[in-house]
Amino acid sequence: MKTEISVIIISKNNENLIGDCLESVTWADEIIIVDNGSTDKTLEIAKSFGANIIEVKGGNYSIWRNAGAKKASSNWLLYVDTDERVTSELKKEIQLIINPQPLAIGQYVAYAIPRKNNLLGHEMKYGGWWPDYVLRLIKKEVLIRWEGVLHEQPAIKGLPAGRQGKVGKLKNPLIHISHRSLTEMIDKTNTWSEVEAQLLYKSKHPQMTWWRFFSVAAREFWYRAILKLGFLDGPIGIIEIIYQMYSRMITYAKLWELQINNKR
């Protein structure tokens, strides 16, 4: 018989985070760790929680999430990252969904979960950080696959692109402990800006010019600071506005570099 819910966690050298993450999902019927070559104590900690471990070298988040789904034996899949925590309230809400009353069966095949983003030790309420819905609870039988190298999304049977009719929204949030230090933030930008720049280049993005750089920065400032009132989160809100502008600028500067280098 199938169990009810499998939690799928992607890891690589997360010994300082994975213990609390696993502790928050011990109620699940199955925990699957998809590991991308950890060399610290990550796998040792995972084994202590009885997790099933899949080791996948290389790849991207879509590949890793799909590997976890293939291994899972449950009716429902819950994807949780190592820097996220499932609260007791969210746990209860999920359990009600996966064990519904007869009249509620089949209402939704997937659910988006809001995230409370904790950046530099501060719970963000503005700047586009809340409610930050992520599609993470999916009935296994309808999941086709995860797609995308960056900002990956699940393809779901019977759910045409742009249609959200079969996707519900949960009320209780995941806790997301991100941007734990400025150093980590800069390192993350340097890594993922390479990927994003490559994707923009392959999509034949127009040639970067001086005014496009101003446009990129202005759009990010408008969204974070003006439209989403990011400054109301205080000093950390202002730091995040500047950081997001910087992160976008680095991505497009690397795109410019690719365009210039490939013209030679």
Tens digit of each residue's pLDDT (9 = 90 or more) over 95-154 = 998 886 554 545 788 999 999 999 999 999 999 999 999 999 999 999 999 999 888 999
Shared domain for 137 and 187, answered yes or no, is no
Shared domain for 70 and 187, answered yes or no, is no
Shared domain for 187 and 173, answered yes or no, is no
Shared domain for 134 and 21, answered yes or no, is yes
The residue out of 131, 158, 178 marking a domain boundary is: 178
**pTM, to two decimals:** 0.91
Shared domain for 114 and 209, answered yes or no, is no
pLDDT tens, per residue, the chain with 264 residues: 456 999 999 999 999 999 999 999 999 999 999 999 999 999 999 999 999 999 999 899 999 999 999 999 999 999 999 999 999 999 999 999 888 655 454 578 899 999 999 999 999 999 999 999 999 999 999 999 999 988 899 999 876 544 445 789 999 999 999 999 999 999 999 999 999 999 999 999 999 999 999 999 999 999 999 999 999 999 999 999 999 999 999 999 999 999 999 986
CB 174 within 8 A of CB 86: yes
Shared domain for 141 and 22, answered yes or no, is yes
- Which amino acid is residue 161, in one-letter code? A
Shared domain for 25 and 46, answered yes or no, is yes
The residue out of 136, 161, 178 marking a domain boundary is: 178
As for how many domains the chain has, the answer is 2
Task: Look up the domain containing 161 and give its range.
Answer: 3-178
Shared domain for 173 and 186, answered yes or no, is no
- Which amino acid is residue 60, in one-letter code? N
